[in-house]
Amino acid sequence: MPERFEQLTLAGIVHDLNNVFETLFEVHDVLKADPRNARVCASMRRTLKHGARIVKSLEEQGGMTDPVRLLDQVEALVRDFLLGSRGPGLEVSCQVTEGFLLPGNRGAWERVLLNLLLNAARMMPQGGKIEVSMWRDGADVKVEVRDNGPGIPAKLLPRLFEPGFSTTPRHKGLGLHIVRTIVEGLGGTVAATNREDGLGAVFLIQVPA
């Protein structure tokens, strides 16, 4: 496919999605006039802003992201997802050391963390706990997501990040592939293992600071 056509296709998709978001924001403004819709509207607005940041991240490369603000937003988006899907009770805890920024724009990092957290949530249909940690380690930044779900069967570990690979028919197997693609685009790596005690999965991301 010619490069110019690819650029036009991306620009067209961005343009059309921005039109969609504009319409939905207007619907949101109508709904929020009724106080009974306050909770739903708050969730709707967060999700729309997340979508708009994803679109923006497709256009813009580079930038830096505040990890504390990022995690606050991602945790809220996960809870919105569980609210909309009537999912199980889920405890999310976040720990961030101070004094560093994540390389890359916020929309890209939201995609990374949301895919990891929602993947963990789906593996724990009865509820559970997800722990997210971020810290500076020398010349790198490390991000770890661990849960207390069933863990990952050893035979699946080598294929986990392949596009289209999924253990459930409802999902297309793109979430973890998106994670790897974004992380590698930042010059980093992502690896999946099981916890030492065997009670859950661990994803570790490492990117140059």
Kindly report, residue by residue over 144-159, the tens digit of the pLDDT: 999 999 999 989 998 9
Residue 4 predicted with pLDDT over 60: no
Domain ranges of the chain: 1-59, 62-208
Distance CA 157, CA 138 (A): 28
pTM for the whole thing? 0.77
Distance CA 180, CA 176 (A): 6
Per-residue pLDDT reduced to its tens digit, 110-146 = 889 989 998 888 888 888 999 999 999 999 999 999 9
Distance CA 135, CA 102 (A): 10
CATH no. for 62-208: 3.30.565.10
∠ at Cα 148 (145, 154), nearest 5°?
80
The pLDDT assigned to 85 comes to: 58
